Structure 1
């Protein structure tokens, strides 16, 4: 039987975001969606530049971002029921040779086939727990598959079902920009690798898990660490024990919200915009800083607003508002609680009395939690159905394809990190895995 970080709860409530979008497009639902293109198969967008319809559709994708080749017609034209049967059959044939990892934000039609479901921290650990599987099929986005490749055995194949499943946040900090930032900081702060009399270096680089392997390698080379939303506080404590300040990228909001909760004043958290001289700050501001925040963000969590929270409180007296720390600071401050996807899941699971929850995170997880916990009223703060553009690129058709190709002895869409990047990136990831969240 598959194991999961989530309880395998069966309910008559439909958790499928795809079904909701199809109903919106056909007029069978009065809900609204940010793009009717979400009703189409993601293969309609595979050859086009861009992240695809959904929350990141307005973000600028870098030149040369991976694109997916054409999915065979047999998978594009198959029904939902046919794809489900094919996935189940292929998994049964492969047995322990393959393990499927599914992120919380994946569509329901994919998650139901995952052997492990979790956030990025949990799935990084799950990749370590299967050293004998021939293939790890990562139903998430590109940087997650890279991380699984870094942590898996050399002979294992890590597969991303759709190569176009990237991450706009991760793309907001590329290696050239980060290297340039490091050089500019050295101009202001002096040699960055020389500790002072207290043993502290001028700055410790910290990258969120939502970053490329190249960025993780940079962090590993320069004495830094990777964090997730689950262990960001622990990681910042680790970094402050080693450096006077932190360079945090690519998500400004997670960095700001975490540091603020630790007592770091906003005046000591300048923004680094890679398109401006010295990131848009003065030398004095950088000297006085404690956390230098990269100008990046998650387009899913930027959709949540204080107005949405006020409306939820007005319409649902006593509502418990929980948001993800990738949300803007004003939203986190207005909510009752903030925490990682695992924190949100656990908070709902542990609520003993029927409760109304307004949740500020990706819609696929919110709808799944609502289906799994019918004793509660659970809804997404954003009334518009707008899933993560890139997570939504993983469709059951792609999962069926890569699994059946494995049955036939063919590895498709393998993600491999070059050795020169992998070695320092593993150092940064091993530090992250050791920084257990409280």
Structure 2
């Protein structure tokens, strides 16, 4: 589990936004190629404006690994993302998370001990091949677990390819930690409800194992943000905006994905809207910071949130302009704060899981 963030000095809170902006830009210039700032798409505008790269978690970690001259990788995201960056970069590079409290509730829903209990029960019950697959939105420990047990990671983009490779070869899948990405991908592949078992991590007595191994065993984790979108909101937005296109992230429930026109990864959503014709109208079911940014960057289209009352990703929004400045200020003084490091053995096993994903999704 990640550590708690200690309060930062008041001076960073009370200074004006303009002064913080000037100081951040000055430090970036001073550190030059020694510093790379990564900004996840869900970051607030006051932070992502300083990012050298924007993207999803794995893409950002891969970009960081290419920045061989950078001594400091400041990841404006959440804990598991910084872990992945640390695993993919060299031992000389230091990965910093501006607020140690920026975690991911969904990743935290799959704790290693609970996953091992599930795995032991499944492998004791069944002789069929079960492959553990974890969404990259998971801890380094869970990625390493999958690596050690012949499994792999996946992204929301390549999950369909991974499922095709495994299910098509007669394997069963234990999918961690997001029930909804797993269910949406499995049903799209051609599975039926009876092929899928939902694993209750908090009450094993409710998990009734069938005689034959299910084709897909889903961990009952979820994204708290994407669960704010509901099927009736799709109906409501269609009534309000005739001709609107609805696009959602596959972390939404299957009922929402089924009603939407399109579903896909964050990059898919951005690409679809960017390439859409002028004058088109879109309702987007994903984190509100990104939706607002899409509206700003595509003024020739009308873009609204599928749920205008949805909250921001609370954990992602822990990364603030004051926290970023505080972290950079310390780096400029030669002091590294909030460094994220992953044990070498965990890294080696997790990299196996990542590499298997890359091999299967080519």
TM-score of the pair, normalised by structure 2: 0.97
1:268 and 2:195 are equivalent in the alignment: yes
In 2: Cα distance, 1:247 partner to 1:300 partner? 23
What's the counterpart of residue 122 of structure 2? 185
Is structure 2 residue 257 aligned with structure 1 residue 337? no
In structure 1, how many angstroms separate the alpha carbons of the residues matched to 2:63 and 2:361? 15
CA apart distance, 1:241: 5.5
Question: SS of the residue aligned with 1:271?
Answer: strand
Q: Do 1:319 and 1:356's aligned partners in 2 also have CA atoms closer than 8 Å?
A: yes
Partner of residue 46, structure 1:
none
Matches within 5 A, 1:306-321: 306-321=231-246
Match of 2:290 among 365, 368, 378: 365
Matched, 1:289 2:214: yes
**Partner Cα separation in structure 1 for residue 206 and residue 215 of structure 2:** 15
Mark the CA change 1:414 to 1:243 in structure 2 (over 3 Å): closer, same or farther.
farther
**Is 1:252 aligned to residue 189 of structure 2?**
no
Deviation at 1:235, TM superposition (A): 1.9
Q: Are positions 1:98 and 2:29 aligned together?
A: no
* Partners of 1:433 and 1:98 in 2: CA distance: 28
Match for residue 376 of structure 1? 301
Unaligned runs of 5+ in 2: none
Contact 1:319/1:355 (<8 A) preserved? yes
Contact 2:58 / 2:84 at 8 angstroms: preserved in 1?
no
Q: Distance in 1 between matches of 2:200 and 2:129?
A: 20
Q: Judge conservation of contact 2:246–2:261 (CA < 8 Å) in 1.
A: yes
Equivalent residue, structure 1, for 2:167: 240
Q: Which residue of 2 aligns with 1:163?
A: 100
- C-alpha contact (below 8 Å) 1:227/1:235 kept by paired residues: yes
Q: Distance in 2 between matches of 1:369 and 1:436?
A: 28
CA–CA distance in 2 between the matches of 1:347 and 1:121?
Answer: 20
Residues 343-354 of structure 1 correspond to what in structure 2 (within 5 A)?
A: 343-354=268-279
Q: Secondary structure at the match of 1:311?
A: helix
- How big is the shift at 1:238? 3.3
Secondary structure in 2 matching 1:162: coil
Q: 1:150 aligns with which of 68, 84, 87?
A: 87
Distance 1:155 1:237, change over 3 A: same
Corresponding residue for 1:428?
Answer: 353
> Are 2:223 and 1:298 aligned?
yes
Give the whole-Å Cα distance in 2 for the aligned partners of 1:241 and 1:206.
15
Alpha-carbon offset, residue 279 of structure 1 = 6.1
Higher mean alpha-carbon deviation, 72-81 vs 97-106, is at 72-81
1:115 counterpart = 2:35? no
Instruction: Tell me how far apart the structure 1 counterparts of residues 312 and 111 of structure 2 sit (CA, whole Å).
Output: 24
Aligned-pair CA distance for 1:65: 4.7
Q: Which residue of 2 aligns with 1:202?
A: 129
Q: 1: distance between equivalents of 2:152 and 2:229?
A: 29
Which blocks of at least 5 consecutive residues in structure 1 are unaligned? Answer: 1-63, 191-200
Residues 304 and 331, structure 1, Cα contact 8 Å, conserved in 2: yes
Question: SS state of the match for residue 283, structure 2?
Answer: strand
Residues 142/120 of structure 1: CA separation in 2 closer, same or farther (3 Å cut): same
Alignment of 1:27-46 (within 5 A): none
Supply the distance in 2 between the matched residues of 1:303 and 1:186 (Cα, whole angstroms).
35
SS state at 2:342 partner: coil
Map of 2:141 onto structure 1? 214
Contact 1:120-1:228 at 8 Å conserved across structures: no
Q: 3-state DSSP class of the match of 2:326?
A: helix
Is the Cα contact below 8 Å between 2:2 and 2:79 reproduced in 1?
no
Could you say if the C-alpha distance between residues 214 and 279 of structure 1 is closer, same or farther in structure 2, counting changes exceeding 3 Å? farther
- 1:49 aligned partner: none
Q: 2:151 aligned to 181, 205, 224, which one?
A: 224
Give the corresponding residue for 1:280. 207
| C-alpha distance in 1 between matches for 2:170 and 2:90 | 33
